[in-house]
Structure 1
Amino acid sequence: MLHRFNQYLQKWMPILTPLSLIIGVLFENIGHQLVFLVPWIFAFMTFAGSLSMNIEGIKSLKKYPTVIFIAIAFLHILMPIWTYIVSTIIFHEHFLTIGFVLAVAIPTGVTSFIWVSMCRGHLALCLAIILIDTVLSPIVIPALLHIVVGQSIEIDTAGLMLDLLWMIVVPSLAGVVCNELTKGKIAVTLGKKLAPFSKLCLFSIVMINSSVIAPYMKTISWELFSIILVVFLLAVSGYVLCLVLGHYLWKDSSIITMFVFTGGMRNIAVGVVIATTYFPAKTVMPVVFGMLFQQVLASFFSRVMERYQLKYGGTKCKKHLLSQEG
């Protein structure tokens, strides 16, 4: 029953996510009263998603240190710089620039593991990057935001680091420990049972936090349209840049596949929580809109990688998503 429900949610995620956003905007008064629940919901979601991870990927540090360094540098140096340049040229709103940079500065998404698995990418490397990026997030995100925000806006850096620790790092490490102690059994038992609830948590976070941007959403304007368009173009550019860089840097198609999805996907929910907690409502917009395209683009680029692998690697993406947390 839960397995079938999870598959249903996975299939309709590209539709249910924007629908959650619309519901949150329409019922903004209810959403405002539930904002305090978001960090707790996210912590649960992170724990559930981490039950399928183990420390096996850490062994990749010795074998592929350069690949891991390039992936982390792409996530937290190249993409933030590229995003900052694009957003400052197109918009003249400092809070929007912060939102755009935050949207790409957050850790890579745990869901990238599913797409890498589906397309037969390098799983050990993917796990290593997810874990390392997660552990680094309390340091990297505040540092990047401090650079972008500047002295004009004060930000509670210590509070942000603590929030990231208990929302991402602690639940993730707890999930990894549980996986190790049970030798992977918990991912099959409890992990599969929690998968649909984790997706429902994601929809809840979108609904609750979209109430914050409701005043900006009720009136269709050129600014709103342009924000959504730029979010889409930046998201696409992330995948494309990863594919192009990967093609010229490595010959192994499994590494390139891993790089495309870890570099293209983000843990957007944590970005929404940070934006709503520490910045004005306008900063939330670029982050929230990223949820509209995440799964759709991942699905599209899975087909791109299938063709790429057939041409350069001789492997083929699977037909169906794995029944894991997505």
Structure 2
Amino acid sequence: MKQLTALSNWMGKTFALWALISAVLGFFFPEFFAPLVKFIVPVLGLIMFGMGMTLNIDDFVTIIKRPKAVLVGLLAQFTLMPLIAYLLTVVFHLDPFIAIGVILVGCCPGGTASNVITFLAKGDVALSVSITSIATVLAPLLTPLLLKLFAGQLIDIDLASMMLTITKIVILPIVLGIVVHRLLGKKSEAVSSVLPLVSVVGIVVIVAAIIAASKATIVDSGALVFVVVALHNLLGFTLGYLIARACGFTERQRRAIMIEVGMQNSGLGAALAATYFNPVAGLPSAIFSVWHNFSGAIVANICARRDNS
């Protein structure tokens, strides 16, 4: 078990590398990986169950203790990222399906990777977990509504159906994970220790499938999509930090909010794209999944060096 835990931890720390490798494999072997698109939704559900296994009631109690920081993080998450995404699609005149994909990523909540990056950046991890958890709970309502607002002119959005889908693939698995965690007690620690491995393998499958299904689009406009995704992420980091500083938060809180705003649950974006639109619309999510872990690692390294200087 110790060896499996060690492997899981190592895979979690080197996630960006595996995401990059999966993207390359998906591009060069599309005939093998493209059929995996049909597994994106159940794979994401498994990842969300893992997230639930790491949570407990105390994580949500944090909101009561520090409502201002959590509220600012949530507002920045669900206003800045969708707006930045929309503006980028206008500025770069993106293809409609690509534009939908970019906006979709912007409308998603933060992902669990942000908690790891916040830890490495020596930020406020408790605040990061609180924002991620509440943003995920709000996603069934806010993600479809924001997508309707910013991308409704591009394609018809079935709000009720999308809300139900997000509830099924995000909220229910998380709730189940929390219940299992509570029932197992300390025994759940053994399961939780291998969850990074499950999450990495799951995201790797999603990235490879989306890249494989979108190969033709990547050849035509992959570089442009990468530039847009990178700008989206970096602007999120920058504005998230500046807003947190303007609110007078501590440096550790600023870092947590910065990372929460800049990093999205790209797995959810890919799952919704595959379910409601076109695999091509999932391309920004796949690229975001690879890129934000590299950029997040760089941000964490800069923060750590700043503390040591």
Same fold per TM (> 0.5)? yes
Residue in structure 2 matching 1:248, options 236, 246, 249: 246
Amino acid across the alignment from 1:272 = A
Q: Distance in 2 between matches of 1:180 and 1:253?
A: 33
TM-score by length of 1: 0.86
Aligned pairs for 1:251-266 within 5 A: 251-266=249-264
1:52 paired residue number: 54
SS at match of 2:193: helix
1:162 paired residue number: 164
Question: Relative to structure 1, is the Cα distance of residues 239 and 210 closer, same or farther in structure 2, using a 3 angstrom cutoff?
Answer: same
Question: Relative to structure 1, is the Cα distance of residues 294 and 49 closer, same or farther in structure 2, using a 3 angstrom cutoff?
Answer: same
Residue in structure 1 matching 2:6, options 1, 4, 7: 4
CA contact (8 A) 1:39 1:273 kept: yes
Amino acid across the alignment from 2:234 = V
- How much identity, in percent, do the aligned residues show? 22
Residue in structure 2 matching 1:87, options 86, 89, 102: 89
**Counterpart check, 1:135 vs 2:137:** yes
Residue in structure 2 matching 1:101, options 100, 103, 106: 103
1:230 paired residue number: 228
Amino acid across the alignment from 2:203 = L
1:301 paired residue number: 299
Aligned pairs for 1:1-326 within 5 A: 1-150=3-152, 153-183=155-185, 185-217=186-218, 219=219, 221=220, 223-309=221-307
- State which drifts further: 227-236 or 170-179: 170-179
Q: Which has the higher helix share?
A: 2
The runs of 5 or more residues in structure 1 that have no matched partner are: 312-326
The Cα of 1:17 is off from its aligned counterpart by 0.8
Amino acid across the alignment from 1:58 = F
CA contact (8 A) 2:210 2:279 kept: no
Per-residue CA distance 1:67-114 (angstroms, 9 max, x = gap)? 222111111112211221122111243322221111121110112222
CA contact (8 A) 1:49 1:191 kept: no
Q: Distance in 1 between matches of 2:188 and 2:118?
A: 17
Amino acid across the alignment from 1:71 = G
Q: Distance in 2 between matches of 1:309 and 1:176?
A: 35
Q: Distance in 2 between matches of 1:224 and 1:78?
A: 24
Q: Distance in 2 between matches of 1:289 and 1:230?
A: 10
SS at match of 2:123: coil
Q: Distance in 1 between matches of 2:29 and 2:288?
A: 21
The Cα of 1:187 is off from its aligned counterpart by 4.9
CA contact (8 A) 1:51 1:186 kept: no
Give the alignment's Cα RMSD to 1 decimal.
2.1
Per-residue CA distance 1:50-75 (angstroms, 9 max, x = gap)? 32221212222223222222111111
The runs of 5 or more residues in structure 2 that have no matched partner are: none
CA contact (8 A) 2:69 2:249 kept: no
The Cα of 1:203 is off from its aligned counterpart by 0.7
Amino acid across the alignment from 1:208 = A
SS at match of 1:34: helix
Per-residue CA distance 1:243-272 (angstroms, 9 max, x = gap)? 222222224222112112211211111111
Amino acid across the alignment from 1:269 = G
How many corresponding residue pairs? 307
The Cα of 1:308 is off from its aligned counterpart by 4.7
Q: Distance in 1 between matches of 2:50 and 2:8?
A: 13
Q: Distance in 1 between matches of 2:280 and 2:198?
A: 29
Per-residue CA distance 1:160-198 (angstroms, 9 max, x = gap)? 222211211111122223333444x24521111333132
Question: Relative to structure 1, is the Cα distance of residues 92 and 229 closer, same or farther in structure 2, using a 3 angstrom cutoff?
Answer: closer
Q: Distance in 1 between matches of 2:290 and 2:117?
A: 17
SS at match of 1:53: coil
SS at match of 2:54: coil
